[in-house]
C-alpha cells in the first residue's frame, strides 16, 4: 500500500504542484521537494530528489510536474529502478501502474487542468501492478 508521495515541479509546474499538495488526502504523507516559486529553475534537479526518495522508500510513489511533463519524465527515467510515465488521462494513469509498474507520474501543467490532474493522481495512487506473468516478463526485460 502506498503511504508516502514525493512531489516536485519546476517553475512551470509550480502552481499545479501547490494545488495538488493542498488537496491531498490527509491520510497520505506528502513530501514536497520543491520548487517553491515560479522563478525559473532546472527540472532535473527536482526530478532527482523525488526519484531518490522513491528508490529509498518501498511504500512510496512520486509525482513530477513541468510544462509538458516530458522533461520530468525523461529526467526520472534515467534512474535505475524508476519507471516514469507522462500521463494526461485517468485510464493511462491506471494502466501505467497495472501493466508497467510505474512508480513516478509525470504531469504537464500545460496539458491538464487542476480537476483532471487530481483525478489522474488519485487513479495513479489507487492502482496496483497486475503481476500477471506477461506484465512481469515485460518489466523484467526493462531491467536488463
Confidence of residue 144 (pLDDT cuts 50, 70, 90): low
Instruction: State yes or no: is 99 an active-site residue.
Output: yes
Q: Which of 136, 132, 126 has the alpha carbon at shortest distance from 105?
A: 126
Residue 73 grid cell: 519524465
Distance from the Cα of residue 30 to its chain's centroid = 12
Q: Which of 63, 68, 13 has the alpha carbon at shortest distance from 38?
A: 13
| Architecture in CATH for domain 4-142 | 3-Layer(aba) Sandwich (3.40)
pLDDT in tens, 31-57: 999 999 999 999 999 999 999 999 999
Q: Can you give the three-state secondary structure of 6-69, one letter per residue? A: EEEECHHHHHHHHHHHHCCCCCCEEEECCCCCCCCCCHHHHHHHHHHHHHHCCCEEEEEEECCC
Q: Which of 97, 100, 118 has the alpha carbon at shortest distance from 109?
A: 118
Cβ atoms of 75 and 9 within 8 Å: the answer is no
pLDDT in tens, 72-128: 999 999 999 999 999 999 999 999 999 999 999 999 999 999 999 999 999 999 999
106 vs 132 pLDDT, higher one: 106
Out of 24, 55, 99, 118, the active site residue is 99
pTM equals: 0.95
Amino acid at each position: 500500500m502506498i503511504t508516502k508521495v514525493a512531489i516536485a515541479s519546476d517553475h512551470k509546474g509550480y502552481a499545479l504542484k501547490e494545488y495538488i499538495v493542498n488537496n491531498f488526502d490527509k491520510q497520505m504523507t506528502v513530501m514536497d521537494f520543491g520548487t517553491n516559486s515560479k522563478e525559473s529553475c532546472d527540472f532535473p534537479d527536482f526530478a532527482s530528489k523525488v526519484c531518490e526518495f522513491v528508490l529509498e522508500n518501498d511504500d512510496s510513489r512520486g509525482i513530477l510536474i513541468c510544462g509538458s511533463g516530458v522533461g520530468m519524465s525523461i529526467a526520472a527515467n534515467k534512474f535505475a529502478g524508476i519507471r516514469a510515465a507522462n500521463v494526461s488521462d485517468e485510464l493511462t494513469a491506471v494502466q501505467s501502474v497495472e501493466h508497467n509498474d510505474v512508480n513516478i507520474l509525470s504531469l504537464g501543467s500545460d496539458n491538464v487542468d487542476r480537476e483532471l490532474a487530481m483525478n489522474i493522481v488519485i487513479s495513479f495512487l489507487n492502482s496496483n501492478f497486475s503481476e500477471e506473468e506477461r506484465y512481469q516478463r515485460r518489466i523484467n526485460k526493462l531491467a536488463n
